[in-house]
Amino acid sequence: MEMAFQTPPEHTDYARMRDLWQAGEGLGYSAAFTFDHFVPLNPRDPREAPGGSTHGPQFEGLTVLAALAESTSRMDIGVLVSGVTYRHPVVFAKTAVTLDHISGGRALFGIGAAWHEGEHAMYGFDFPPVGDRMQFLEETVEAFNLLCGPDEVVNYQGRFVSLTDAVFEPKPVRPGGLPVLIGGGGERLRRITARHAHWYNGFWAPWEWSDVNDGLDALLERYSRKPSDLKRTTLVFAELSGDEAAEARLISTVQGYRGGSEAEARRRILVGGYDEMTDVLASYAAAGVDQVMINVRPNQTLAEFVAFSEAVLPAVVEA
């Protein structure tokens, strides 16, 4: 199984993110991600409950990704993920291909249907009903794949996306174009994924992934694709400090979002000793997950990240 990590660009500074990315590349991670929001998703103080204040520093995810791409040379890079409502589809496409050239062909096109209604209200972004957002997502991905394809001029007409004699240069560096990564959980989103995407990211627990993969495989077959055409990835929350109070807060947060018992929460996140963390990661691998992305929150130090990686990655990646 491959290992990746995500550094949320909230309550942090660029130098810390750069140091984490450069260390992560040297430690053997295969990919690294930011996220794409305009306000923090979590409070500044990790002792506070999530979902409260959105005050505090928050970098724009795609800009900081370009700088982090320049500071590394091997890992795949992307956002996990951009909300389809945040930018015009061609702006998304042009930014993604520019990132691909900056990174030497390592960029992913990470996109989802958007969910943060409060953020949309705050800034005046349109927040259509979920069915419309799903349609917008599918049209955006279809248009993106056409723009990145070999045609010199592209025409496309959907409900939300329209291209008329559109030229799009340069094309991606990566042979075959940028992989499209779609993140989310609903059945319609998974149908869109099976038709158009190359990577899928879901927040499923290890014991849920078998059914999810079976469903994805059936959808892929319906659309004349193979199971190997879709990479399965998951984002896993972690507390790397070993602090029991911090671990208890994370467990409680995960229970609030995902439900289940404390024991079930511990089986889907990284807390406790390194042996326990290794066992959790091994359970994701056994469930058919191709890549686990570790959420490295702003309160985690570089030393904690390095110590965790040196202890756990060899057992997981080399297994």
pLDDT tens-digit profile, the chain (319 residues) = 999 999 999 999 999 999 999 999 999 999 999 999 999 887 777 666 555 557 889 999 999 999 999 999 999 999 999 999 999 999 999 999 999 999 999 999 999 999 999 899 999 999 999 999 999 999 999 999 999 999 999 999 999 999 999 999 999 998 888 999 999 989 999 999 999 999 999 999 999 999 999 999 999 999 999 999 999 999 999 999 999 999 999 999 899 889 999 999 999 999 999 999 999 999 999 999 999 999 998 889 999 999 999 999 999 986 5
- pLDDT at residue 303 in the model: 98
Q: Are 116 and 37 in contact (CB under 8 A)?
A: yes
CA distance 94 to 144: 9
- Residues facing residue 6 across a β-bridge: 33, 295
Residue extents of the structural domains in the chain:
2-317
Q: What angle do the packed helices 302-317 and 14-27 form, to 10 degrees?
A: 30
Name the token pair of 258: 């995902």
Q: Are 99 and 62 in contact (CB under 8 A)?
A: yes
Q: Please report how many Cα atoms fall inside a 13 Å half-sphere around the Cα of residue 174, on the Cβ side.
A: 20
CA distance 138 to 160: 10
At the topology level of CATH, where does 2-317 sit?
TIM Barrel (3.20.20)
- pLDDT at residue 92 in the model: 96
